[in-house]
Amino acid sequence: MQKARNYVESFALPASVAEFGKENEGNYADKKARGWYYDGEASRPFHRLTADVLAASLHCFIAVSESRAGEESDLPPGASKIKGLPHLPPGFGWPAGALFLAQFNLEDLAPQDIQQLLPATGMMYFFFNPNTATGTVYYYTGALDILSLRPYPESGNDSLGYFLEEYRDRRYQATFRKKAAFCIDDILEQLPDMLKNEVSGMLDCPLASRAIGDNLFGQPGYWQGENEIIGDKQMEEEADVLLFQYEFGEGHIHFWVSAAELEARDFSKVWLSYSGT
């Protein structure tokens, strides 16, 4: 990833790219801003699109696609899936009042994990409580042949309302594809083909027009400007890693983990955020 960013930093951008967004001056609180870029910590304004800004906006992510499965039996134990019922090991305690969102077989994800941030084997489960805006991630490293389909708890689901039927009774097979994106709205088609082809080749993945969607890593979907920072303000602490985001309601939910805890395979302190239109 750093090699690709270094290449972008050294690339001589044409004037048409350097002046990108000039027509937007005066439209933001920062009157000199021409647009926004995501640098891995926050969305920041740029006054002129320099190669350094473009390089900082380049991020890898794993796009998640889903295809409808008819019955639970269509997905074998340990399959990567979204919604429906999870395949859990014995003794697993279902998080109180939570919806089951997804389970990912990490062997499916490993070939798509450009930065090798995730464990290469095992299962990762995602649950969230829409009423308390809390999330739970469970990392399982045991045998897959002891996993079994687990129904929702018989009690404690009243507060889930109509979400319960949507999440329990529909199930989808999940597939993954590695991608990268320059996290600046509408920039991709303005970039020289030489630059795009070289970066795509270095990363061995296609360039997407945006990194907001159902994905692991990438740019978080904040629809009310919650992560915008104006000026030279820096984050007080190292930014957490966007582990997974998924469309929910009129926006996205985000599962966050610190870089240190991700490296240590400790998902006990994962936290959840939501942003909607």
Reported as a single tens digit per residue, the pLDDT across 72-88 is 999 999 999 999 999 99
- Nearest by Cα to 97 from 161, 166, 159: 159
Structure letter (DSSP) for residue 226: T
Reduced to 3 states, what is the DSSP secondary structure of residue 189? Answer: helix
Q: Please state whether beta strands 207-208 and 171-182 pair in parallel, antiparallel, or not at all (unpaired).
A: parallel
pLDDT at position 277 is 75
pLDDT at position 236 is 47
Contact 252, 108 (CB under 8 A): no
If pLDDT is split at 50, 70 and 90, which confidence band does 261 have? Answer: very high
> What does the pLDDT look like over 140-186, one tens digit per residue?
999 999 999 999 998 878 888 889 999 999 999 999 999 999 999 99
Contact 269, 140 (CB under 8 A): no
If pLDDT is split at 50, 70 and 90, which confidence band does 237 have? Answer: low
Question: What is the maximal distance between C-alpha atoms in the chain?
Answer: 63
If pLDDT is split at 50, 70 and 90, which confidence band does 211 have? Answer: confident
Strand partners, 46: 35
CA angle 198, 201, 205 (to 5 degrees): 125
User: 116-131: buried (b, 16+ CB within 10 Å) or exposed (e) per residue?
Assistant: ebbbeebbbbbbbbbe
> What does the pLDDT look like over 13-58, one tens digit per residue?
999 999 999 999 888 888 899 999 999 988 999 999 999 999 999 9
Contact 251, 276 (CB under 8 A): yes
Strand partners, 135: 128
**This prediction's pTM:** 0.92
Residues contacting residue 203 through CB under 8 Å, at least 6 positions apart = 1, 4, 60, 114, 178, 180
Say how many Å lie between the first and final Cα of the chain, rounded.
32
Instruction: For tokens 């907001």, name the residue.
Output: 212
pLDDT at position 29 is 81
Structure letter (DSSP) for residue 239: P
Instruction: Give the torsion sign (CA, 74, 77, 80, 82).
Output: positive
Residue 1 one-letter amino acid: M
For 60, list phi and psi in degrees, rounded to 5: -95, 155
pLDDT at position 235 is 44
The H-or-E segment that residue 259 falls in is helix 259-263
Measured in whole angstroms, the distance separating CA 221 from the mean position of its chain's CA atoms is 9
**In whole angstroms, what is the distance from residue 132 CA to residue 100 CA?**
15
Contact 131, 199 (CB under 8 A): no
Share of the chain above pLDDT 70, in %: 96
Mean pLDDT over 93-105 rounds to 95
> What does the pLDDT look like over 88-98, one tens digit per residue?
999 998 999 99
